[in-house]
A and B are shown apart, each in its own frame.
Chain A
Amino acid sequence: MAERVGVYICHCGSNIAGTVDVESLAQWAKDTLDGVVLARDYKFMCSSLGQELIEEDIKEQGLTRVVVAACSPHLHEKTFRKACSNAGLNPYLCHMVSLREQVSWVTEDKVAAFEKAKALLAAGVRRVHLHEELEPTEVPVNPNTLVVGGGIAGIQASLELADAGYPVYLVEREPSIGGHMAQFDKTFPTLDCAACILTPKMSDVGGHPNIHLMSYAEVEEVTGYVGNFSARIRKKARYINEADCTGCGICIEKCPKRVVDDVFEVGLGYRKAVYRPFPQAVPKFPVIDREDCTYFERGTCRACEKFCPTEAIDFEQVDEYVDLEVGNVILATGYDLFDCTKIPQYGYGRLANVFTSLEFERMCNAAGPTEGKIVLRDGVTTPKSVALIHCVGSRDKRHNPYCSAVCCMSALKFGHLVMEKTGAEVTSFYIDMRPLHKNYEEFYDRLQQEGMHFVRGRVAEVSDAARRPGEEGKLIVQAEDTLIGRQRRIPVDMVILLGALQPRADAKETALRFGISCSMDGWFTERHPKLDPVATMTDGLFIAGTCQGPKDIPDSVAQGAAASARVQGMISVGTVLIEPIVASIEEARCSGCRICNNLCPFNAIDYLEDKAVSTINAALCKGCGTCVAACPAQAITGAHFNYDQITAELEGILFDAPRGNGRHARRLEPALEPAS
């Protein structure tokens, strides 16, 4: 059956009509293009009157295809598809041609604009002839949610979901939840103690009937699609039976092996081979670190086992795998601190009294290695002067071009704490002060009142090479003070480096495992930077907290809550529609060569050993068409972007190009007459 195509050309006020002669274009389309039974131009196609026009024509003129030449399909494709479906035409039989963004707004020459409009319209009409009816599929949403990462963002997301009555699986890599916030001493700008506000939330998580907490565990594999994910969790062996352990801590006390704690104490303090990162850890169960444990090293010791009152120690434990079914996933995997040894001129790792911000947090924390005393590396001397260097590894093209967002406020907080606890002189070396949230500027003002010094300038080096009197035995911070236009050399006892917030070292692998993307820097990419900051391009996968980009505690909490609200919305609706723009394999044409098998990052392609053919799981397919383009047998078809549709569009777009004699070389016409 020949298709009856209706063409609608929008004036968009004068946005299109001001450059393209829309009336002539409509006339040309009707006269020239195959199957066009009517071509109209109209002031605003997206208005309700414009949409009604299409609906009436479909009903009265029996249109079987619709082409709307107006703005970008990203604006109004949904509008016109809906108009078609209102009139009983499958929405995928409608096609949009972008005359505004691609022709009238970007072209000055009206003649050239008209020619380009003709080509785009010809392409659209040729293409729409070959469109097929498509139907989205509806799938149920599993009410369980997987939250990955037990920092403040993950905690917030889990609690909100759990409080709303939905089951949550919270997976944390370390033995305890709490994240970076648990390491901090005070929080800016209110200076309330981090533990005081965090630990209640942590114990809420630990005791919540709807939260299934899996600490010391990692997500190994995620498969499935929105509403129906399967996740495999590896629970690392704790060598302690959680069922028997009371969390009394005797094992920790009795363990003879003391090692530097590189994670929670960031190398500044010690822990035992059997340990809990900190006393308020949730869950309360300790972990035996296989790497450091004397028993695992030499085969003897077992002190913990001897003293455990409940016989909870189990050296035979092995990693355990748990398979979960969830409907949505929230990633809240956090950040890593910049490796400050990468900027050796600042002395970290070379000069004893240069510390990182996290080291300082631990030092300041009453539960930390110095019990809250601010001291030099010797462990006893109180510094009389402290320098704070901002932007270490941030705003630096050689490391990270971005601003880490929290360092200015951390520096102010550190300044306050140093002055309060030691009375030392504090100097901050900053590039720009960025206290940009509620009550932050006031905090900056307060520190200026309190007598903290501020030098605007990037530090050149931190050195122990004294030059002037008064510099001996000190660390000399050299910087250009750009406000007075002078080089300054400021001798101090202690230097604190405000290291950049960086994506987790394994962020890219994580992104790949969950099927989302990372920016060039390595932060997880949100669906829209302004309007959809916690969703990702993968339906059912949400991100919260610093894994999306540097941010402070209030923003992380807000994102955790926002992500959980998005998930609740999905669960309460109960079902989702899945786009029908997917690829499919024609089994008879597939030879099972397996070229396509590892091309799909969403694991939608499976190989069926018994039939020796590959097959596509439509629910997992996102419709990119990469496998379609790759199939050497051309056995894969991509709905709505199939080979014939695209080549038809190509033929239309080049309708006026010199064709030569096409596919066939010139033939001799008329046919040769043999002599009779």
Chain B
Amino acid sequence: MSEQTFEPKIVAFLCNWCSYRAADLAGTARMKYEPNIRILRVMCSGRVDPTFVLKAFALGADGVMIAGCHPGECHYLEQNYKAMRRYEMLSHTLKVMGVEPERLRLQWASAAEGAQLSAAINDMVEKVRRLGPLSWAGNWSENGYHLEAIERLAEEHAEAMEVPA
């Protein structure tokens, strides 16, 4: 995939009450935004387990967005603060793992903020597009010359065994 045609895949976890409704509103208002975002609904941003974010990266996502109600406006009173804390913790760790900070975004969007959410999506898609693919699984594929080494080892052992005792 060349740099020009790279289209990132971004997973967005949207809370049922504010940000998912903001996405609904963006739809109803026919606001066009980048198709790279793929939305997954959870009841609250507090449901987003860091495992989901890591798993999304491991499964090939180029970016992950977590969206919830604005602080203080959570449908469940204060659970979005937990999302905020986990986001900070996760970012702290991902930095060390070499994942660019732009690839994980925490976005607040009230049910009335369709425009803000779609702008945030466009902004994130553009930033991740500029970063290029993450292709995380590629990180643990060895070059291939280790296969030769193993074969050679097997051959050497076989040769050694052919020598008459």
Residues of A within 8 A of B (CB): 72-74, 98, 100-103, 105-109, 112-113, 115-116, 119-120, 123, 511-512, 515-520, 525, 537, 581, 599, 601-602, 622-626, 628-630, 638, 641, 643, 646-647, 649-651, 653-654, 656-663, 665-666, 668, 672-675
**What's the least CB distance linking A671 to chain B, in Å?**
11
Q: Hey, which chain B residues are within 8 Å of A516, CB to CB?
A: 77
Q: Would B33 and A106 count as touching, CB distance under 8 A?
A: yes
**What's the least CB distance linking A104 to chain B, in Å?**
8
How far apart sit A109 and B24, CA to CA, in the bound complex (Å)? 19
Q: Hey, which chain A residues are within 8 Å of B48, CB to CB?
A: 629
Q: Hey, which chain B residues are within 8 Å of A658, CB to CB?
A: 60, 133, 135, 137-138
Q: Would A537 and B82 count as touching, CB distance under 8 A?
A: no
* B window 114-157: CB within 8 A of A: 118, 133, 135-138, 140-142, 147, 150-151, 154, 157
Partner of B70 from A520, A629, A651 at Cβ < 8 Å: A520
Q: Would B75 and A537 count as touching, CB distance under 8 A?
A: yes
Whether A650 touches B23, Cβ cut-off 8 Å, given contacts A626-B46, A666-B142, is no
Q: Hey, which chain B residues are within 8 Å of A602, CB to CB?
A: 76
B3 near A: Cβ within 8 Å? no
Q: Would B162 and A653 count as touching, CB distance under 8 A?
A: no
Interface membership of chain B positions 4-45, coded 1 if the CB is closer than 8 angstroms to chain A and 0 otherwise = 000101010000010011011011101111010011111110
Q: Would A654 and B56 count as touching, CB distance under 8 A?
A: yes
How far apart sit A76 and B76, CA to CA, in the bound complex (Å)? 23
Interface membership of chain B positions 45-88, coded 1 if the CB is closer than 8 angstroms to chain A and 0 otherwise = 01111111001101111000000001011111111001000100
**What's the least CB distance linking A585 to chain B, in Å?**
16
Q: Would B137 and A662 count as touching, CB distance under 8 A?
A: yes
Chain B CB within 10 A, most for which of A657, A661, A662:
A657
**What's the least CB distance linking B69 to chain A, in Å?**
9
Whether A106 touches B27, Cβ cut-off 8 Å, given contacts A630-B82, A666-B141, is yes
Q: Would A650 and B76 count as touching, CB distance under 8 A?
A: no
**What's the least CB distance linking B1 to chain A, in Å?**
9
Q: Would A106 and B40 count as touching, CB distance under 8 A?
A: no
Whether A665 touches B40, Cβ cut-off 8 Å, given contacts A100-B27, A106-B26, A647-B55, is no
How far apart sit A574 and B119, CA to CA, in the bound complex (Å)? 47
Q: Hey, which chain B residues are within 8 Å of A113, CB to CB?
A: 35
How far apart sit A634 and B11, CA to CA, in the bound complex (Å)? 23
Q: Would B60 and A628 count as touching, CB distance under 8 A?
A: no
B161 near A: Cβ within 8 Å? yes
Q: Hey, which chain A residues are within 8 Å of B70, CB to CB?
A: 520
Q: Would B56 and A661 count as touching, CB distance under 8 A?
A: no
Q: Would A675 and B162 count as touching, CB distance under 8 A?
A: yes
Q: Would A641 and B35 count as touching, CB distance under 8 A?
A: no
Q: Would A674 and B158 count as touching, CB distance under 8 A?
A: yes
How far apart sit A106 and B30, CA to CA, in the bound complex (Å)? 6
Q: Would A650 and B46 count as touching, CB distance under 8 A?
A: no
| Pairs across A and B, CB under 8 Å, 16 listed | A115-B35, A120-B39, A517-B74, A518-B72, A519-B72, A601-B76, A643-B49, A654-B56, A654-B60, A657-B60, A658-B60, A659-B137, A660-B136, A660-B138, A663-B58, A673-B154
Q: Hey, which chain B residues are within 8 Å of A661, CB to CB?
A: 137, 141
Q: Hey, which chain A residues are within 8 Å of B162, CB to CB?
A: 675
**What's the least CB distance linking B101 to chain A, in Å?**
21
Q: Would A102 and B150 count as touching, CB distance under 8 A?
A: no
Known contacts A74-B20, A625-B43, A660-B140; can you find 10 more A-B pairs with CB under 8 A?
Answer: A72-B27, A106-B35, A519-B73, A599-B82, A623-B43, A653-B11, A654-B59, A657-B60, A658-B138, A668-B147
Q: Would A601 and B78 count as touching, CB distance under 8 A?
A: yes
Partner of A626 from B24, B79, B140 at Cβ < 8 Å: B79
How far apart sit A630 and B81, CA to CA, in the bound complex (Å)? 13
Q: Hey, which chain B residues are within 8 Å of A646, CB to CB?
A: 40, 42, 49, 52
How far apart sit A115 and B34, CA to CA, in the bound complex (Å)? 13
Q: Hey, which chain A residues are within 8 Å of B9, CB to CB?
A: 654, 656-657
Whether A520 touches B77, Cβ cut-off 8 Å, given contacts A106-B118, A625-B46, A646-B42, is no
Closest chain A residue to B159, Cβ basis: A675
Closest chain B residue to A521, Cβ basis: B72
Question: Top 8 nearest A-B pairs by Cβ distance?
Answer: A660-B137, A657-B60, A101-B27, A625-B47, A675-B158, A626-B46, A624-B44, A112-B35
Whether A660 touches B60, Cβ cut-off 8 Å, given contacts A624-B47, A675-B158, is yes
Partner of A601 from B32, B77, B86, B135 at Cβ < 8 Å: B77
How far apart sit A103 and B50, CA to CA, in the bound complex (Å)? 27
Q: Would A659 and B72 count as touching, CB distance under 8 A?
A: no
Q: Would B40 and A626 count as touching, CB distance under 8 A?
A: no
Q: Would A106 and B24 count as touching, CB distance under 8 A?
A: no
Closest chain A residue to B142, Cβ basis: A666
Whether A622 touches B154, Cβ cut-off 8 Å, given contacts A102-B27, A630-B82, A660-B135, is no
Q: Hey, which chain B residues are within 8 Å of A663, CB to CB?
A: 58
Closest chain B residue to A537, Cβ basis: B75
Partner of A650 from B24, B27, B40, B74 at Cβ < 8 Å: B40
Partner of A106 from B21, B31, B135, B138 at Cβ < 8 Å: B31
Q: Would A123 and B47 count as touching, CB distance under 8 A?
A: no
Q: Hey, which chain A residues are within 8 Å of B35, CB to CB?
A: 103, 106-107, 109, 112-113, 115-116
Closest chain A residue to B82, Cβ basis: A626
Q: Would A73 and B11 count as touching, CB distance under 8 A?
A: no
How far apart sit A650 and B38, CA to CA, in the bound complex (Å)? 10
**What's the least CB distance linking A504 to chain B, in Å?**
16
How far apart sit A622 and B46, CA to CA, in the bound complex (Å)? 12
How far apart sit A410 and B91, CA to CA, in the bound complex (Å)? 52
Whether A665 touches B49, Cβ cut-off 8 Å, given contacts A520-B73, A654-B56, A654-B59, is no
Partner of B24 from A72, A512, A641, A647 at Cβ < 8 Å: A72
Partner of A119 from B38, B43, B58, B73 at Cβ < 8 Å: B38
Q: Would A660 and B141 count as touching, CB distance under 8 A?
A: yes
Closest chain A residue to B30, Cβ basis: A105
Chain B CB within 10 A, most for which of A98, A646, A650:
A650
Q: Hey, which chain B residues are within 8 Å of A623, CB to CB?
A: 43
How far apart sit A389 and B142, CA to CA, in the bound complex (Å)? 75
Q: Hey, which chain B residues are within 8 Å of A630, CB to CB?
A: 82
How far apart sit A512 and B72, CA to CA, in the bound complex (Å)? 11
Closest chain A residue to B81, Cβ basis: A626
**What's the least CB distance linking B154 to chain A, in Å?**
5
Closest chain B residue to A113, Cβ basis: B35
How far apart sit A281 and B133, CA to CA, in the bound complex (Å)? 72
